[in-house]
Amino acid sequence: MAPSPEATITRPNFVILLIDDAAFMDLGVYGGEAATPNIDTLAARGVMFTRYYTSPLCAPSRAMLLTGVDNHLTGVATIPEVLPPEHIGQPGYTMELEPGVQTIAARLKPLGYRTLFTGKWHLGSGEGALPSDHGFERSFALDASGADNWDDKSYMPYYSDAPWYEDGAPADLPDDFYSSEFIVDRMISYLEETDETAPFLAYLGFQAIHIPLQAPAEITAKYRGTYQDGWQALREARWQRAQELGLVPVGAPLAPMPPDMRLWENLSEEEQALYAARMAVNAAMLEAMDVHIGRLIDHLKASGDYENTVFLVTSDNGPEPTRGDNDWRLRLWMAMHGYHIGLDGIGEAGSWAFIGPEFAMAAASPGNLFKFYGAEGGIHVPMIMAGPGLPENIRQDALVQVTDIAPTFLEMAGAPAASDGVAITGRSILPLLTGTTETVYGLDEPIGIEVSGNSALIRGNYKITRNQRPWGDAQWRLYDLRQDPGETTNLAAARPDLMASMLADYDVYAEGMGVLAVPEGYDSHAILTRNTQLRQLRTYWWVPVVLLIFLLALLWGAWRLARRLRHTQQT
């Protein structure tokens, strides 16, 4: 039974545990293969949400989580890596938190909260744009979409290095660095170094399970046989498990694998072993993160803070579909920077592992598609909340979204309503958590989501969605999520009035939030490739210059040699 609102403890501590690119069913309590006992224990102690929605890309989700404001109003409408030239510098598309946008850290700090940050930031770089500029008292932050998990280096050509900052100043990593371990270690040290009598907000942005997938070999070994039957088998197994757990209705259809994806049986035995091993590292990286989350929990128990701490566990978006073996430029860059994509030492230092689109599609089961897209696989992710005054061992099926987190925490802390700055667009879910209401959004209240043309609008049990290239066709579709959570049957033709009504709601959302339409034929992969090449050219401009000088020197030498030979022949 849920406690009364009066039972809610004021001024609790807050711990945000943000996973990178985890699918809805990746965690053990949601039916995933990875062992996540510490997260599962938090779920048993609190509330496990089954209809929580985020954005399809990391930075917009993080902006909304930290501010409670729609991503277009924060300035982080999308990520820099897929920003088309037409949107550069436009309001809402500056790729950093814009003036007037306040984080929960900035709102809690005046109330006496310690505000602490470790891990991935990706919300702007340089002067005025780092966590230390947005309310965090202490921070050790990665200002990039990702980085290596074993070494202090970049993970892809888009970045020349791994830009880590401590309290706003460039920082180095320890020699024994492993990302999940270090993120927890540094947070524990911040908790010990700051006023231990004051409440705190602790935000941990894990690199797990963003590419490159990397994990300790002894944990990876546990999953070596788990994925040997391939992606279609995994997709169907998770779908069956989702029905058994009541996450989807029994008999709910499962979307087929897209026709452009490879068939598992068409891979060679060596390719099958390699991809199965990559998924093993994926699971191991989740387990390794959970192990270190357990160390943080143990610390909070030892310090006496555990019972008065509200924990949030969620993911920024669905699973990552990027491949690292189908682009010669990326493979060349890897070779030049000490990476390999082979089976030997997979997941260890120097390994650049990935699951690819097929296993991403399988991981997203019972949803459709994955990260980047407005389909269920891209935006429907796990969320767990546990702590003082909240019900225990409850599964919550009400619709909630990422912008609802910040106002919920602020209400729990007793923060006064802000009188200035950009207004919060989310809603507090505290009445839902304390049992005074059964819903946050009524059946006729729409919630809109858009990132780089990948869009969704959910109203009650219905959803319209539009997915851009390369895995979509930029066409709107209508689904009944109650009966068809896998998005297999487009109802647009059968329900034209409903479709028109929801499209009108989306237009209201887009206009109100300042959504810019993407250019005709927009393809996020093509834009990513273009932006990466431009970034590489700016970073490594000297390489073609040196090659050109070398080539000119060779030509000049050849010309001198030819002249000498002609002179010799004439004499």
Query: Catalytic residue at 525?
Result: no
- For CA atoms 336, 338, 341, 344, the dihedral sign is positive
In the chain, what is the straight-line distance between the N-terminal and C-terminal CA atoms, in Å?
Answer: 107
Report the alpha-carbon distance of residue 531 to residue 85 in Å, rounded: 9
CB neighbour class for 569 (10 Å; exposed up to 12, middle 13-18, buried from 19): exposed
pLDDT of residue 526: 76
Instruction: Calculate the alpha carbon distances from 165 to 126, 141, 162, 389 in Å.
Output: 10, 5, 10, 36
C-alpha torsion 474→476→477→480, nearest 10: 120
Q: Which residue has the tokens 């891979």?
A: 267
Tell me which DSSP letter residue 428 carries: -
- Give φ, ψ of 380 to 5 degrees: -100, 110
Between β-strands 446-451 and 114-120, what pairing exists: parallel, antiparallel or unpaired?
unpaired
Query: Catalytic residue at 122?
Result: yes
- Give φ, ψ of 195 to 5 degrees: -60, 105
Report the alpha-carbon distance of residue 454 to residue 132 in Å, rounded: 31
pLDDT of residue 47: 97
Q: Which ranges of 132-268 would DSSP assign to H, the alpha helix?
A: 179-193, 217-220, 231-244
Chain centroid, CA 117 distance in Å: 17
Contacts of 260 (CB under 8 A, 6+ apart): 471
The Cα angle at residue 37 between residues 32 and 42, in degrees rounded to 5 = 100
The catalytic residue among 72, 87, 122, 210 is 122
The catalytic residue among 58, 134, 210, 380 is 58
Chain centroid, CA 541 distance in Å: 31
Task: Extract the tokens encoding 56.
Answer: 């399809």
Report the alpha-carbon distance of residue 87 to residue 527 in Å, rounded: 12
User: CA neighbours within 13 Å on the CB side: how many for 160?
Assistant: 8
**Which of 65, 70, 78, 59 lies closest to 21, judged by CA?**
59
The pTM score is: 0.91
- Letter for the amino acid at 309? T
Cβ–Cβ < 8 Å for 3, 10: no
Give me the tens of pLDDT residue by residue for the chain, a chain 571 residues long.
Answer: 343 333 334 699 999 999 999 999 999 999 999 999 999 999 999 999 999 999 999 999 999 999 999 999 999 999 988 888 899 999 999 999 999 999 999 999 999 999 999 999 999 887 889 999 999 999 999 999 999 999 999 988 878 889 999 999 999 999 999 999 999 999 999 999 999 999 999 999 999 999 999 999 999 999 999 999 999 999 999 999 999 999 999 999 999 999 999 999 999 999 999 999 999 999 999 999 999 999 999 999 999 999 999 999 999 999 999 998 888 888 888 888 899 999 999 999 999 999 999 999 999 999 999 999 999 999 999 999 999 999 999 999 999 999 999 999 999 999 987 778 899 999 999 999 999 999 999 999 999 999 999 999 999 999 999 999 999 999 999 999 999 999 999 999 999 999 999 999 999 999 999 999 998 888 877 776 666 656 655 665 555 666 678 778 888 878 877 777 777 776 6
Instruction: List Cβ<8 Å contacts ≥24 apart for 430-433.
Output: 430/5, 430/8, 431/5, 432/396, 432/398, 432/400, 433/2, 433/47, 433/385, 433/390, 433/391, 433/408
